[in-house]
A and B are shown apart, each in its own frame.
Chain A
Amino acid sequence: MKPSSHAFAENARRALHDATLQQALAKAGVGFVDKRRGAIAGLPEFEALREAGRAIKDHSLANLDHYLARFEQQVTAGGGQVHWAETPAQACAAVLDICQQAGARMIAKGKSMVGEEIAVNDALEAAGYEVVETDLGEYIIQIAHEPPSHIIAPAVHKTRGQIAALFEALHHRPGLTRPLETVPQIVDEARQILRDKFLAADVGITGANFLIAETGSTVIVTNEGNGDLSATLPRVHIVLASIEKAVPTLEDASVLLRLLARSATGQEITSYTTFFTGPRRADDLDGPEEFHVVLVDNGRSQMLGGAYHEMLRCIRCGACLNHCPVYGAVGGHAYGWVYPGPMGAVLTPLMVGLKEGRPLPNASTLCGRCEAVCPMSIPLPKMLREHRRREFVQGLTPPRGRWALAAWAYGARRPWLYRKLGRWMVAMLKLMSGGRGRFRSLPFAGAWTAARDLPAPQGGTFMDQWQRRKHHG
């Protein structure tokens, strides 16, 4: 997917004026927040688990090379194959190769953010395969030809009416279609359409929430069961996983699973949590004949040990999106690439370059709510600041902001000058306000006054008045 993160401001403006989108966002926002709050209130051990989870991830990352090697060894021992990919291109090539060897035509896909990251669907379709997204949200955006707008609720930006219209346009069969109005009708129609795809698919591709080094297992969590059908019915199962997903043991995954569902959807556990280990065994009655894991790096090994190291703890729960006031205002598409919200504002510049992604770290008030709700306690605001630092050092900051800041800093370093300019500015503004206490508009303050008045200064500076009080009082 070609990123449009550089146009964030424009994308955001469009989103703010999109009434349908605003309606969808308003519906989603509060729901996620309330559900998470309820789930955490119901588990007194949550904070202890959060600390334990963080420690597990820290330990796993500190030994990532060892755990990945162990994971590979166990997958191989169980009859599966591990493929390593440094880049999206290598990862797609690995997937294409497996599909070709399997003589595949149709591919059923479970939800995978790494899949989005490497644009595996584009690669497969370009090679002539039919790819069907099977997660309902992913299916909706696939047929709408849109990227996901949320990492766990890809179609959160779509209203029921929009989804019904998409379905009617695509699934319409003369004499068979009935108007779709209710949520059950929509879900039922998707179930019928996709059921045939599952049964016909030659290859199933899923993501992975965790990789278990101890057993060589890959873990997925879903509510729909689509991931399990994708992994069970086709002849070949391909798991796309990024390298930071490795954890040592089943016990470690158990801790993280308790945090994941609560932080994401406010559930204690999702409907389906599945641990896949290798292809079907000799006496199994079902399951794929081949089991492949494609391990994707795409810049993560360079994050390790650096300023963004802690971002690798991310378990992709989406809580930072759900609690971000900027995400809540503009939705995911404005961010212009695969990962939106605070986690996306950290990851996108690392994966598509700071030049392309630079607006994202700036599009934050650094309010810190993302860090407060992050189950992995990732210091997201700190990393957004780090991006801003690099942007400044590399000279990517727009000149206007740079000059304004330099002028301010110049003045503030010289108290005598600062007092003089302050006195002058306050007197000017006070005079211009004409005693009305505020401005409805003001030259150079159009950004502020478009939607709010600018309160006028009281008059005089504190420092001057304090001096006077000291000398006369």
Chain B
Amino acid sequence: MVDARAAILGRLAKALRHDTAADAPAVVQRLNEKARGPQPQWPESMRERFLAKLAKVSATHAELGSRAEIVQAVGAYLAAQNLPNHLTAAPHSLLNEVAWPNDWRLEQRRARGEDRLGLAVAFCAIAETGSLMLLAGPDSPTTLNFLPDDFLCLLPESRIVPRMEDAWALLRQERGAMPRAANIVTGPSRTADVEQTIQLGAHGPRRLHVLLLRG
């Protein structure tokens, strides 16, 4: 395929009248600047905006005063959905020291096909669209976001940023490089492929529930 590469790049360079393979100054500048486009504005606070947009995409949320309330919030969700006390959670530092009740079955690992409920921690959230961003890694297996019917996501309120561009800035600052997958999740899975009728839970989670951790 080396030939195809040379042929394609050659045709492009010829069509664009580029006589050198070296990056044009405009290209280097563009890649370094990372300039933002027009930034949508809104009057509400970031928290209000995030929660309003979250509700609009049929996701639910619970507010937690502290990490001590995680068990209670998860328990309330399990009870409300009539689910067994059985969950698969991400091996994330915020979840590692939670004192789960003894009669719960909790496993911290990647998700499997039979898992009913997954619990993960968002890297950050985007107020503009009510989205969660999850980064694949040892503390956040991607399968948890997609395989279980119910996806619970812990989000410290301090991690809500205004827009997608702010999420990228945070990612560059804290991680330096892209993870294998950066998932921007906005509501549960849905499809409109049958007669344009929106139906939740196509392949991914049927329900998305955010545990918003104050402070």
**Do A and B share a complex?**
yes
Partner-B contacts on A (CB < 8 A): 24, 27-28, 31-32, 43-45, 48-49, 52-53, 56, 59, 62-70, 78, 83-86, 90, 94, 134-137, 140, 153-156, 159-160, 163, 183-184, 186-188, 190-191, 194-196, 198-199, 213-217, 223-226, 228-229, 231-233, 243, 248-252, 254-255, 257-258, 265, 268-281, 283-287, 295, 297, 301-302, 304-306
A251 and B182 contact, Cβ closer than 8 Å, known pairs A228-B204, A302-B11: no
B8, B26, B110 — most chain A CB neighbours (10 Å): B8
Alpha-carbon distance A199/B36, docked complex (angstroms): 39
Binds A, one of B77-85, B97-105, B142-150: B142-150
Alpha-carbon distance A447/B96, docked complex (angstroms): 75
Kindly list the 9 A-B residue pairs having the minimum CB-CB distance in the complex, ordered from nearest: A225-B204, A255-B37, A224-B202, A137-B193, A305-B15, A285-B141, A301-B11, A277-B178, A84-B5
Binds A, one of B68-76, B153-161, B183-191: B183-191
B21, B35, B180 — most chain A CB neighbours (10 Å): B180
A228 and B145 contact, Cβ closer than 8 Å, known pairs A70-B31, A159-B195, A274-B184: yes
Q: Interface extent on B, as a size class?
A: 35 or more
From B37, B131, B146, B168, give the contact of A232 (CB < 8 A): B146
Q: Can you list 19 residue pairs at the A/B interface with Cβ under 8 Å?
A: A59-B26, A59-B30, A62-B16, A64-B12, A65-B9, A69-B9, A83-B1, A85-B1, A85-B4, A90-B4, A94-B1, A137-B191, A140-B193, A223-B190, A226-B204, A252-B37, A273-B186, A277-B177, A304-B12
* Residue B173, interface by CB 8 Å: no
- Chain A residues with CB below 8 A from B65, complex form: none
Alpha-carbon distance A159/B180, docked complex (angstroms): 39
With both beta carbons as reference points, the residue of chain B lying nearest to A224 in the complex is identified as B202
Kindly list 9 other residue pairs between chains A and B, CB separation below 8 angstroms, not including A45-B39, A68-B9, A228-B181.
A134-B203, A224-B189, A224-B202, A226-B204, A228-B183, A271-B185, A274-B181, A285-B138, A305-B15
Q: Are A49 and B37 in contact (CB under 8 A)?
A: yes
CB distance from B194 to the nearest CB of A (A): 5
From A48, A159, A225, give the contact of B189 (CB < 8 A): A225
- Chain B residues with CB below 8 A from A187, complex form: 191, 194, 199, 201-202
A224 and B178 contact, Cβ closer than 8 Å, known pairs A198-B203, A285-B138: no
CB distance from A202 to the nearest CB of B (A): 16
A44, A213, A274 — most chain B CB neighbours (10 Å): A274
Q: Are B194 and A286 in contact (CB under 8 A)?
A: no
A84, A184, A215, A232 — most chain B CB neighbours (10 Å): A232
With both beta carbons as reference points, the residue of chain B lying nearest to A140 in the complex is identified as B193
- Chain B residues with CB below 8 A from A94, complex form: 1
B53, B128, B168, B191 — most chain A CB neighbours (10 Å): B191
* Residue B18, interface by CB 8 Å: yes
- Chain A residues with CB below 8 A from B186, complex form: 268-273
- Chain A residues with CB below 8 A from B179, complex form: 277, 281
